[in-house]
Amino acid sequence: MVDLEEIRAGLRDELQPSQREHGKFICPLCGSGTGSHKSAAFSIEKDGKHGKCFSCGFYGDRFDLVSQRDGISIAEATRRLIDQYSPGSARARSSAEEDFSPYRPPAPPAAEGPSRDFPGEVARAHEALKGSEGERYLMGRGFTEETLERFKLGYEPSHFFPGRGSFPAILFPYDPGGHYVGWRALTTKHYDKPKTSEAGEEPVFNAGALYSGGPVFVVESQLCAISIEQEGGRAVAIGGSGERKLLRQIEKKAPGGLLILSMDNDEPGQETQQKIAAALEAKGIPFIQANVSGNAKDPNELLQQGGGLLRQSIASTLRTVDEAREKAVEDQRAKRQQESAEGYISGFMQELRESRSAPAIPTGFPGLDRLLDGGLYPGLYILGAITSLGKTTFTLQLCDQIAAAGHDVLFYSLEMARQELTAKSISRITYELTRRKGLSQDKAKTTRGIIASKRWAGYSRDEMELMAEAIEDYKARISGHIWHYEGVGNIGIQEIRQEVERHIAITGRLPVVAIDYLQIMAPVDMRASDKQNTDKNVLELKRLSRDKGIPIIGISSLNRDNYTAPINNAAFKESGAIEYSSDVLIGLQFSGMDYQDGEADKARDKRIRELVRAQKAKGNAGQAEELQLKILKNRNGRSGTDCLFSYRPMFNHYEEALEGFTEVEPDDNPFSQPKKKRPL
């Protein structure tokens, strides 16, 4: 009877140790431990039979793990593991109830006897091979005496296969030292291997070939690997469908040459080959797939056909590998040359000619467009301001103005609902209509006044008509070119990229993209810090803007230390990548917050606090706050410039403050005491 507790104690055999953290393992279910930080979350309990993963929440024993990993039932996982330990025993098992009966502590182990003598076992079996039925069998499979000697193959006239009985069998040493062996019956398909407690986990057969420096064939059986080795190639065998053994070996040490996948020419063999190919591709391990067996089922069958067919097939495959390698080298050289200035200059003028036919996209703020040399170009624009200063409102108005001019906009709101965004736009239009019609500002509607439909009963006829006109204006001018996406921590760079590509594929138009805001985008890596995730998202947004040739506007929060200080590059929260990766870095602040010459720190702090308090009081009273927009960085244009806006938070409205617009010195404040102005 198979000891299920012994199988449970082999949980470690299903796991791959973490390269970074001692005592931790890569989780076979969620893959924790394979990321860029190699932070493994799977550990084995003190009893040695149960494991848990803090990443995906798994807890259970070896049967549970195999069941979940392979998508099979517990009963099927049990049969598979029992058969692996002792083929045939699963069929002899009396019942599932017996196998899963309550655990009873085993009796104390007897005094440990001598360990299994594998080198001696190999030597005795190899000596017994000479002149035996086993030798005749192997030579009938096409092997020479030199091969039998080289691989120390052995024979036993009556080897016991647990649960099956005794049969004449061939012995295969897995390595030159004979530290692991496999027995294969001559007359049946029975196979026997040592218990994990005796010899450790089963290795790849002939694993040393992986590190010979040249191409290595990966095949299924030991007979096939030996066949290729005899005919001039190098080969390893994974043993049936045990592809995980190969992957574990590669994790320990990368192969020294190209892997050539040559599984059996049958359905199970080809399925296994595709699994290995997918795993190697994911790990970046070089490989090719080649049918070295020709019309035969496997390499050993081709060897038995004689005529040097297997040797010819190996040589042909290796020539193909050499030709592919030479072509790859030539391709790399050509690609490298194209990366040089010589390769780039040929397309440089063409890019410039094309750029002339793709002018900047105006923002709808003429003065800001002047500072940006015409408007928005392909690149990453990042706008930062303190809380409640109108970052979202400014960006939304800018995007509405771009949409009204006929350009598509994708607006990602990760904090506000789509309904609120639309209401903010309509609120702004009601204010613009009152000014255009010469009506009282009181007729305009706030965001809440539009969303809270219960208030409509108290509105006058003129107010309702004004709101209806604003809605119609929004529908006619803006709504057909702007798409709102709302999310709470579930929209990341992958979703944004996919939607941009989908929009371009469907419409054929390149959109402007806005993200509100960067720090609450979905994390790229749940195990990384907020700063690391923000850095990664900013870098990927920059890459997206470059790949698709589109402007991307990202809204950023600021460090709290800068709430009462002039805005600068260091104010941007959580990420150095914001400063370094952005093409244009824009800051919004209350006008007058810049440092003044000779001003003491305490006096400056007091002045700024009073300025902020006064400006917010004006906004709360329905008046315009006085804001300054600063170009802190402009990779391809002027930086250190600024422009002035009046902002009415009550009606979500921004307006450039100066007629004709001017560029002002950093210390000037035209709202209070206008000083010298420098025309743009």
CATH of the domain at 51: 3.90.580.10
Which residue, among 386, 359, 390, has the nearest Cα to 372 in the 3D structure? Answer: 359
Residue 107's pLDDT band, with cuts at 50, 70 and 90, is very low
Q: 94 and 136 share a domain? A: no
In this prediction, residue 90 carries a pLDDT of 42
Q: Are 387 and 556 in contact, with CB atoms under 8 Å apart?
A: no
Q: Is residue 637 part of a domain?
A: no
- Regarding whether 415 and 318 lie in a shared domain, the answer is no
Is the separation of the CB atoms in 444 and 431 below 8 Å?
yes
The answer as to whether 359 is a domain residue is: no
Q: What are the tokens at 599?
A: 């001003």
In a domain, 150, yes or no: yes
Predicted pLDDT at 532: 86
Residue that terminates a domain, selected from 555, 587, 619: 587
Residue 72 shares a structural domain with residue 143: no
Note the pLDDT of residue 467: 93
Q: 390: which residues sit within 8 A by CB, 6+ positions away?
A: 588, 627, 647, 649, 652, 654
Taking residues 428-450, report their average pLDDT.
Answer: 93
Identify the pLDDT of residue 673.
39
The residue with greater pLDDT, 215 or 639, is 215
CATH of the domain at 176: 3.40.1360.10
The pLDDT, as a whole number, for residue 358 is 60
Question: Which is more confidently placed, 155 or 353?
Answer: 155
**What's the start-to-end Cα distance of the chain, in Å?**
91
* Residue 573 parent element (H or E): none
Q: Does one domain contain both 82 and 134?
A: no
Q: Is residue 641 part of a domain?
A: no
Could you give the number of structural domains in the chain? 3
Q: Which residues have a Cβ under 8 Å from the Cβ of 8 and sit 6 or more positions away?
A: 49, 61, 62, 63
Choose one of 38, 72, 99: the last residue of a domain.
99
The residue range of the domain holding 553 is 366-587
**Long-range contacts of the stretch 446-455 (C-beta < 8 A, 24+):** 446/650, 446/651, 447/420, 447/423, 447/652, 450/423, 450/426, 451/419, 451/420, 451/423
Of residues 357 and 660, which shows the higher confidence score?
357
436 pLDDT higher than 60: yes
The Cα–Cα gap between 143 and 638 comes to: 78
One domain, residues 403 and 298: no
CA nearest neighbour of 654 among 643, 668, 639: 643
The domain spanning residue 407 has which CATH number? 3.40.50.300
Sign of the torsion formed by the C-alpha atoms of 542, 545, 548 and 553: positive
- Measured CA to CA, the distance from residue 224 to residue 184 in angstroms comes to 14
Residue 199 lies in a domain: yes
- Res 680: pLDDT: 37
**In this structure, are 79 and 129 located in the same domain?**
no
Residue 561: predicted pLDDT: 65
DSSP 376: B
pLDDT value at 356 more than 70:
no
Same domain flag for 583 and 537: yes
Please indicate, yes or no, whether the overall pTM of this predicted structure exceeds 0.95.
no
The answer on pLDDT for 529 being more than 80 is yes
For the chain, what percent of residues have pLDDT higher than 90? 48
Same domain for 272 and 172: yes
- Cβ–Cβ < 8 Å for 230, 303: yes
Quick check: is 91 in a domain? yes
* Residues 207 and 281 both lie in one domain: yes
Q: ∠570-573-574 over CA atoms, to 5°?
A: 110
Same-domain pairing of 73 and 142: no
Q: Of 569, 587, 605, which closes a domain?
A: 587
Is 110 inside a domain boundary?
no
Single out the residue of 348, 406, 355, 412 nearest to residue 379, CA to CA: 355
Q: How deeply is 223 buried, as exposed, middle or buried, from its count of CB atoms within 10 A (0-12, 13-18, 19+)?
A: buried
Residues 381 and 509 in one domain: yes
- In this structure, the answer to whether residues 90 and 132 fall within a common structural domain is no
Q: Residue 107: phi, psi to the nearest 5?
A: -65, 155
In this structure, is residue 612 part of a structural domain? no
Average pLDDT, the chain: 84
